[in-house]
Structure 1
Amino acid sequence: MPRRRNEKLRALLAEARWTQSSLARSVNALAAEIGLNLTYDRTAVAHWLSGTQPVPPVPALVAEAFARRLGRPLPPGATGFDVSRASGADGVAGRATERNRRVESVLAELCGEENDPARRAFARLRPYREADLADVRRAAPRSLPLETAARRGTDEGDLAVVRLAVRFYAASFDAHGGRRGRSSLAAHLADDIVPLLREAREETVRRSLFVETSRLSFLLARMQQDASAHGLAQLHFTTALRLAAESRDRTAWAVVLRGMSSQALTLGHRRAALHAAEAALGDGRGGLDGAAGAFLLSQLAVAQAACGARRAALDSLGRAERASASPASHSDAAGPFTAYSPAALAYQSAEVFRYLGGLPAARKSLDRSLARRPAEDHRGIALSHARRAEILVGSGHVEEACASWQLFLDHCAVLRSGTADNAVSRMQQLLAPFSRVPAAAAVLDRVRTSEALRRTL
């Protein structure tokens, strides 16, 4: 049967005012966001126009490329590709985000994908959808009271087990990175936590269970994000947001939206990240103090700095520091979601100064962050050293930068993290012009040796 020309794709190219090469470059960039190395050029697009069907997740990537260009959501089918037999990412996304389904069912289905090898690979290749962040930012506050849920209920029994799981997986993420433990956490949520949500009857215990489950779902989202599965991470963030809304806990909801702001900023969506950070704090920028306030304000400061709002960023950073220093930020029962570490706040401070061009101040903040990191926080230490080295090499301090990169690589040895892998790639690019400097040559040789060893295992 002769192939049918893809007139829908041709019409989208005309509407977007794109050349075939422009579309190819955009698809390659979107693939890089989810850890794929695609090298399409204009000839690939020409084949698509003539009727060739690309394999998943390319139809979804093409749709997202046009959605960002045209400023409106676009399903993969609108590109003229045959997606009737496409499995994994797109089908899961459509089912998992249905707002008329109970969130427990959405959570069980989404986590079930992680433990089904036949569907997991496709799900992890779902592209990040910029428009989805705006959708949840607009929709969630209307269904969520602004008060924080009461902290009543018992620590006995099932609720205590769920809280222990939150601490365990948070510590695992810090120590080992996002590529370890994802399937374990997904199975725990689907097999153990979802039945508890369905069976809970007493209101205060039920609300507490939803808060803790939101935190576990948030951690799974961060793991997926750290593994460069950004589209799948976005689904888990959205589910965590719904769980927090179900609990009617304003703080739990705001924490998740803050995480979504951070993800958007990581991917370069600065304005969307700013809007999400603002929404997390609410219209009055108040009502949350102590650790929660510091956590939310620090992200707002970074997003403002990324958008060039210098005065607002420094004001938000100052407020975050004051909130962190307040008595409300200290608790005898502090955990990963009830405390905000000085090391993490110092890292955010460094990001604010980096975006604003204050590199010496950024470096000092990173030094403070590193001095306060616990030894088991390999991910935080590694990424802080990597950022510090990037600042140093940009300032001409090559040998000092290499010393930081050596420490970065020490901690990378125990990590499985896409974020760390991306930092390695940036390191190689930044050191390439200095390959004849002995310190730089030693770092580059160590990376090559490590990669060669990994390929043999």
Structure 2
Amino acid sequence: MARARNSRMESLLRELGWSQEQLAARFRRVAAENGADELRAVTRSHVNQWLRGSRPGGRAPHILCETFSRGLGRVVTAPEIGLDMGGEDLPQDTDPVMALAELGSMELDRQRRQMLTGAAYSLAGLALATGEGPAAQARPSRRPVCGGHTTAADVAGAREMMAFFSRRDQRRGGGDGRAALVAYLRTDIVAHLGRRFPGEQVRREMFSTASELVYLCGWMSFDAGEHGLAQRYFTLSLHLAAEADDAPLAGHILRAMAHQAVDLGHPQHALALADASLEQRRYTRATPRERALLGVVHARSLA
């Protein structure tokens, strides 16, 4: 039986005005950027097969989604290009606590983690960080989803764990100990964030500490060359910092995201992130050392 043509992919290709060869060329660039060396030989012939109904394998669906996303200037999902991801997709929950729980669950499942590590670095997704998309806002009316209370002692314990994982990363690098950090985030931190707080100060301190831990997980992913996954952790960390109303921490995270964008060859997007890192309280409340680093990355984005 002949395969049905992929009419959805054809429709988007017509909308963009791209030829099959142009799609293949853009696909190869995104694949190279994301370290998908096995896909750097994709040609017009492969695109033609996909349009005729053949399903691309491996990381190709993720790379295709990002290729179309960059062309259209918005996030394009697999179903929009006529591809079935087998019921799996990346976490899309806008609630950072729920998103952290789902992301952690996927990371701890060996098969599901392949989807995360295969995800492409998303330029359209940067809108969530620079304010062009839905803004990350504090949720003072957040309802507890776990029993019990999160106390100042729990915050202190989380900070001790942050210091431990940070020292380990500085000494070993390369993502060493990262799996343990993910497990800690998925179990202890998600539970702490989901309980009642005795007061606003404890709530903010816990969300701020959680943001730092998630940021560290993103940095470890960046260090391991898993740029799509690192970006998701950075964005999630930024949302947690917003809930903590921790402006200097948000600036620090945006600086790291700008650094990543520069390294991946996206200076205009890096500049937008660097500009955002310098906005108002993110800069004025930062330490002198952090201000200097914000300035360095901003200069790199302009170079």
Smaller-chain TM-score bracket: 0.7 to 0.9
Q: Is the 8 A contact 1:59 1:79 kept in 2?
A: no
Do the aligned partners of 1:24 and 1:45 also contact (CA within 8 Å) in 2?
yes
Rounded to whole Å, the distance in 2 between the matches of 1:142 and 1:234 is: 16
5 Å-filtered alignment, 1:165-244, equals 165-202=161-198, 203-244=200-241
**Alignment of structure 1 residues 278-289 onto 2, 5 Å:** 278-282=275-279, 286-289=283-286
For 2:17 and 2:134, the matched residues in 1 are separated by 34
Partner of 1:66: 68
Look up the match of 2:137.
143
> Is residue 117 of structure 1 aligned with residue 106 of structure 2?
no
Residue 154 (structure 2) aligns with: 158
- Asked if residue 20 in structure 1 is aligned to residue 20 in structure 2, the reply is yes
Runs of at least 5 residues in structure 1 that lack an aligned partner in the other structure = 145-154, 306-457
Contact kept? 1:56, 1:86, Cα under 8 Å: no
Distance 1:106 1:123 in 2: 13
**Equivalent residue of 1:206, what SS?**
helix
Q: Is the 8 A contact 1:93 1:235 kept in 2?
A: no
After the TM superposition, list the runs of 4 or more consecutive aligned residues in structure 1 that deviate by more than 6 angstroms: none
Q: Distance in 2 between matches of 1:156 and 1:12?
A: 52
Determine the C-alpha separation between the residues in 2 that align with 1:161 and 1:3. 57
What does residue 44 of structure 1 align with?
A: 46
**Taking structure 1 as reference, are residues 227 and 32 closer, same or farther at Cα in structure 2, changes over 3 Å only?**
farther
Larger Rg: 1
Instruction: For 1:362-401, list aligned pairs within 5 A.
Output: none
Q: How far off is 1:4 after superposition? A: 1.0
Which runs of structure 2 are paired with 1:272-351 in the superposition (5 Å)?
A: 272-282=269-279, 286-289=283-286, 290-305=288-303
Assess if the C-alpha contact under 8 Å between 2:248 and 2:282 holds in 1.
no
Which one-letter code corresponds to 1:168 in the other structure? Answer: F
Instruction: Say whether the 8 Å CA contact 1:211–1:244 is kept in structure 2.
Output: yes
Q: TM-score, normalised by structure 1?
A: 0.58
**Separation (CA, whole Å) in 2 of partners of 1:281 and 1:294:** 11
- What are the Cα deviations for residues 231-288 of structure 1, in whole angstroms up to 9, with x where unaligned? 1111111110111011111111221122211122221111111011111111598523
Tell me: CA distance 1:122–1:280, structure 2 relative to 1, closer, same or farther (3 Å): same
| 2:62/2:118 contact within 8 Å kept | no
Aligned equivalents of 1:200 and 1:268: distance in 2?
43
Aligned length: 287
Change (3 A) 1:28 1:179: farther
Q: Which consecutive residues of structure 2, in runs of 5 or more, have no partner in the other structure?
A: 139-150
Larger RCO of the pair (alpha carbons < 8 Å, separation 6+): 2
Residue aligning to 2:97: 104
1:347 alignment partner in structure 2: none
The aligned counterpart of 2:11 is 11
Secondary structure of the residue aligned to 1:265 is helix
Identity %: 35
Q: 1:325 maps to what in 2?
A: none
Change (3 A) 1:193 1:286: closer
Match of 1:55 in 2: 57
Residue in structure 1 matching 2:252, options 252, 255, 258: 255
Relative distance call for 1:42 and 1:140 in structure 2 (3 A) is closer
Give the C-alpha shift of residue 129 in structure 1: 1.0
CA contact (8 A) 1:33 1:230 kept: no
Q: Does 1:129 align with 2:118?
A: no
Per-residue deviation, 1:158: 2.5
SS of the residue aligned with 1:92?
coil
Deviation at 1:142, TM superposition (A): 7.1
Give the CA deviation at 1:84: 5.1
How far is 1:130 from its partner? 0.2
Q: Cα distance, 1:200 vs. partner?
A: 4.8
